[in-house]
Structure 1
Amino acid sequence: MSKLEINQLSKRFDDTAVLENVSLVIKDGEFVSLLGPSGSGKSTLFHLIGGLFAPDSGSITLDGEDITGKRGKISYMPQSPSLFPWRSVLDNVLLAQELKEKPNRDKAIEMLNKVGLSEYKESYPRELSGGMKQRAAFVRSLLSPQKAMLLDEPFSALDEFTRMEMQKWLLSIWEEAKPTVLFVTHDIEEAIFLSDRILILGDRPATIVKEISIQFSRPRVEDIRLSEEFLHIKREIYQILRSDSHD
């Protein structure tokens, strides 16, 4: 079980209020995306959940345990794959396990095989494409012992075609293990395609201004991007983001 709860979280830096009374619940095995204007506090919220910052008020719990201000409780995948250049792909994906428990090399090799990287397990990051590096970083996150994952725009640096392929790949792997995921993105289509729910942050000081449930069946198929319902949700989210940024 890995239910993540955020209750009345607020944070300011000097005279700037970034987050104000943000509350949300992510259920066990749920994939939730976070959308918001640039600078609305999405990364700050991630850093608070990951324990890199302490909130001014409010609390964060994981399965009932208070993890407010505690590091190492959440698996985190940033925008950059952050692979160590001197370690092989296999050694990179084992890193999170090394920090917490005895590494399971057989499980790591099995996961690398599932994501099409088995023949690259002894290669180094410089020998991989951007998409391959992201796959390796995601395997590292999946193998970490933490119960929930934060994904911070992991595909933002990829070209559109590679990004769409990575979205489909991510869902195929996620649907096997069903980790609890909070996913930050600026891409409305990406959020709709991946998510069970979408939470929209308003401008600073940010609060959650809208929650949208995505009812498309899983596994998701590419054709839903062209459906009227998909386009309707996209227009709705665009109007919310546009109106909030102009208030």
Structure 2
Amino acid sequence: MSELVIEKVTKSFADKKVLEDISFTVKEGEFVSLLGPSGSGKSTLFHLIGGMYSPDSGAFYLDGKKINGKRGAISYTPQSSSLFPWRTILDNVVLGAELFAKPNYDQAREMLEKAGLSGYENAYPHQLSGGMRQRVAFVRSLLSPQSFICLDEPFSSLDEFTRLEMQRWLLSIWEENRKSVLFVTHNIEEAIYLSDRIIVLSSNPATTKREFTIPFARPRKEELLLSEEFLQWKKAVYQELR
């Protein structure tokens, strides 16, 4: 497991400042969600963590090591599943491991079975539904050697019922592995239901506006979504986003 420390990160593109003095920590085995208005720089922050480009100032530390501009330090799941259409499902899920070492196909088959995808190992991405492809993408992240995962709105394109099913599935799989997760979403209910903590970003330029520590015990049940306490938390987060 890994701890990520984001320390006073600022980033501009041309003359537009996107992130300003962003600071927070994701502890070992913690599930943290980022909430903020559209265009507030959440995806930009992920690209910086992943080393696609470097911050103008500030730093990222993973287990105490500075990772500014370093690729391959974290596992990243984008909004679309980004599966290779010419590779089978089994070959897609071992891709991250394949880049670093010899993949463990037995472990991959076991994870696909836990994901409800047994029998689809030799299928191709176009033969699966959107929800199934997102499961494949998350299994790929879990099988990658990195112990820190960034999830960028992985359920945004799914209908409400499929989305809830995917949230339940994600929590059940994550409970077994407890990799550190930083999760971007626009959905307040999703953030509360999944997370240990929620970081609220302001609009342009994005700053760390507020942090909420979610008190609900794990494992979490679906009935939690209809409780009065859950509604009170939803109101509090909504007011902060406004």
TM-score category by the smaller chain? Answer: over 0.9
Aligned residue type for 1:21:
D
Q: Deviations over 1:180-222 (max 9, x none)?
A: 0000000000000000000000011111110001010110001
Correspondence for 1:83 = 83
CA distance in 2, matches of 1:24, 1:147: 18
Structure 1 vs Structure 2 CA RMSD: 0.6
Correspondence for 2:174 = 174
Aligned residue type for 1:36:
G
SS at match of 1:181: strand
Correspondence for 1:189 = 189
Residue 54 of structure 1 deviates from its aligned partner by 0.5
Aligned residue type for 1:162:
T
SS at match of 2:119: helix
- Gap regions ≥5 residues in structure 2: none
Q: Deviations over 1:20-73 (max 9, x none)?
A: 110111100000000000011101100000001110000001001111110000
Correspondence for 1:74 = 74
Q: 4+ runs of 1 displaced by more than 2 Å?
A: none
Correspondence for 2:130 = 130
Correspondence for 1:218 = 218
SS at match of 1:212: strand
Stretch moving more, 74-83 or 233-242: 233-242
Correspondence for 2:108 = 108
CA distance in 2, matches of 1:131, 1:197: 25
> Does residue 1:120 correspond to 2:120, yes or no?
yes
Correspondence for 2:142 = 142
CA distance in 1, matches of 2:100, 2:90: 17
CA distance in 2, matches of 1:123, 1:205: 44
Residue 134 of structure 1 deviates from its aligned partner by 0.5
Residue 229 of structure 1 deviates from its aligned partner by 1.2
Residue 10 of structure 1 deviates from its aligned partner by 0.3
Correspondence for 1:36 = 36
Residue 147 of structure 1 deviates from its aligned partner by 1.6
Indicate the percent of aligned positions where both proteins have the same amino acid: 66
Residue 239 of structure 1 deviates from its aligned partner by 1.1
Correspondence for 1:202 = 202
Aligned residue type for 1:112:
L
Query: Where do residues 20-59 of structure 1 align in structure 2 (5 Å cutoff)?
Result: 20-59=20-59
Aligned residue type for 2:238:
Y
Residue 226 of structure 1 deviates from its aligned partner by 1.1
Correspondence for 1:245 = none
Residue 15 of structure 1 deviates from its aligned partner by 0.9
CA distance in 1, matches of 2:213, 2:63: 23
| TM-score normalised over the length of structure 2 | 0.99
Aligned residue type for 2:67:
I
Q: Deviations over 1:166-188 (max 9, x none)?
A: 00000000000000000000000
CA distance in 2, matches of 1:213, 1:227: 18
CA distance in 1, matches of 2:64, 2:210: 25
Residue 237 of structure 1 deviates from its aligned partner by 1.1
| TM-score normalised over the length of structure 1 | 0.97
CA distance in 2, matches of 1:48, 1:54: 6
CA distance in 1, matches of 2:70, 2:240: 33
CA distance in 1, matches of 2:158, 2:151: 15
Residue 118 of structure 1 deviates from its aligned partner by 1.6
CA distance in 2, matches of 1:47, 1:95: 20
Q: Deviations over 1:63-109 (max 9, x none)?
A: 01111110000000000001111110000001111111111111101
Residue 240 of structure 1 deviates from its aligned partner by 1.1
SS at match of 1:96: helix
